[in-house]
Structure 1
Amino acid sequence: MKVKVINLENKAAGDIELAEEVFGLAPRADLLQRMVKFQLAGRRAGTHKTKDVSEVSGTGAKPFAQKGTGRARQGQKRAPHQRGGGVAHGPVLRSHAHSLPKKVRKLALKTALSAKQAEGKLVIVDALTSADAKTKLMASKFKALGWDSTLIIDAGEPEANFALSTRNLPRVDILPESGANVYDILRRDTLVLTKSAVESLEARLK
């Protein structure tokens, strides 16, 4: 499919041919849900923890005789039902991450790119450069382009002045092509790719 290329001045800068096998797939909400769940599960800290009977402070001795006191029998003061005792079946340190086949992850990324293209929210620019590191100037350009909630992906690390100009803009994220992921693509309204990023993504995902 052929798509128009623009520059940061919102002027035409030619056309580019997008690969159907990367940007023309049918929507698959189930794949996107699985991938987002996989990414967010990997981010969870899993550091919630309580002390069980073996970890709380206190003696393990029997608090009083088994018989003759008229009280209910007790084995130790660290038991879960005792005041100051351990927690029964409490949370422990663990990883929430789970596995997902590489083919599924690859297909999910292609599906996310295709979804943005199908919605008309994919923008291709020729290059991302700035003569000056001025946030106000870049903000005015983004406003003219209609880029509010935007993810920008370049082939490598962004040009220095452009990175400095955009790093304080709210709701604008910049990633190298190697860091492109489903969650960040979906959480922003507009996806902006450079021509070099398109070439790199197609070479990686075909």
Structure 2
Amino acid sequence: MELSVFNIKGEDTGRKVTLSDAVFGVEPNQHAMYLDVKQYLANQRQGTHKSKERNEVAGSTKKIKKQKGTGGARAGSLKSPVFVGGGRVFGPKPRNYSFKLNKKSKAAARISALSLLARDSKLSLIESFNFDAPKTKEFKSILSNLKVEGKSMFILSDVNQNVVLSGRNLPKVKIATANDINTYDLLNTDKVYLVEDSISIIENLLSA
């Protein structure tokens, strides 16, 4: 498929770039995308949750009442889960939520996400740009020129500190490099803007 290249003023440059069908024109694999997003979200979890069981709760271990003759159930400790202030039964413990996902599955998920964006006309190409110094105001003017609405993602060819610092304070803007794109960010946006230089990097990375 072919996409027109725009400049940061929102003007069509008259040039078109042909995107690889192997990366931007496949039938989306829903299950691969699901697994990649699931792994991404699982990796964000700290897994530091913890509750105390009966052997960890502070309290006396003295038998609180005699075994028989009270008319109630037998009880041997204030730490029992049935009492207020007692331990919790099968409570959460610290654990690692991450899991392994094959590289081919991850690549298939990213290709599917890019193809989905291209199919739904949520993909645009822009010329490479840079700032002399970090300026959020200049980045906002680019958003205005491109008529960006909702969440947007800009994919650069490599790390550009001035561009990253200019856009990081904008709540609905995500800036990433071609080597760091992930399925979750691609699907969690309304529009993706590919800097022209990043296309070859993405195609080489995902078609390898």
Q: TM-score range by the shorter chain?
A: 0.7 to 0.9
The 2-side partners of 1:46 and 1:180 are apart by 25
Alignment CA distance shift 1:169-1:83 (3 Å):
closer
Let me know the Cα RMSD of the aligned residues: 2.2
* 2:64 alignment partner in structure 1: 63
* 1:203 alignment partner in structure 2: 204
The 2-side partners of 1:157 and 1:18 are apart by 23
Give the percent of matched residue pairs that are identical in Structure 1 and Structure 2.
33
Matched residue type, 1:16: V
The 2-side partners of 1:68 and 1:120 are apart by 77
Alignment CA distance shift 1:56-1:4 (3 Å):
same
1:64-111 alpha-carbon deviations (Å, 9 max, x no partner): 443466654322221111232111122222222233222211100000
Residue 20 in structure 1 maps to residue 15 in structure 2:
no
Residues 129 and 159 of structure 1 are in contact (CA less than 8 Å); yes or no, is this contact kept in structure 2?
Answer: no
Matched residue type, 1:153: I
Structure 1 unaligned blocks of 5 or more: none
Residue 151 in structure 1 maps to residue 191 in structure 2:
no
Secondary structure at 2:144's aligned position in 1? Answer: helix
1:122-172 alpha-carbon deviations (Å, 9 max, x no partner): 111220223564433332331221223210111211252x33432333311
* 2:4 alignment partner in structure 1: 4
Alignment CA distance shift 1:71-1:29 (3 Å):
closer
The 2-side partners of 1:32 and 1:60 are apart by 52
Matched residue type, 2:200: E
* 2:179 alignment partner in structure 1: 178
Residue 78 in structure 1 maps to residue 79 in structure 2:
yes
Residues 6 and 12 of structure 1 are in contact (CA less than 8 Å); yes or no, is this contact kept in structure 2?
Answer: yes
* 2:112 alignment partner in structure 1: 111
TM-score relative to the length of structure 2:
0.87
The 1-side partners of 2:97 and 2:56 are apart by 23
Residues 5 and 126 of structure 2 are in contact (CA less than 8 Å); yes or no, is this contact kept in structure 1?
Answer: yes
* 1:136 alignment partner in structure 2: 137
Deviation (angstroms), 1:5: 1.8
Structure 2 unaligned blocks of 5 or more: none
Q: Please say which of residues 126-135 and 178-187 is displaced more in the overlay.
A: 126-135
Secondary structure at 1:139's aligned position in 2? Answer: helix
Q: How many residue pairs get matched? A: 205
Residues 8 and 145 of structure 2 are in contact (CA less than 8 Å); yes or no, is this contact kept in structure 1?
Answer: no
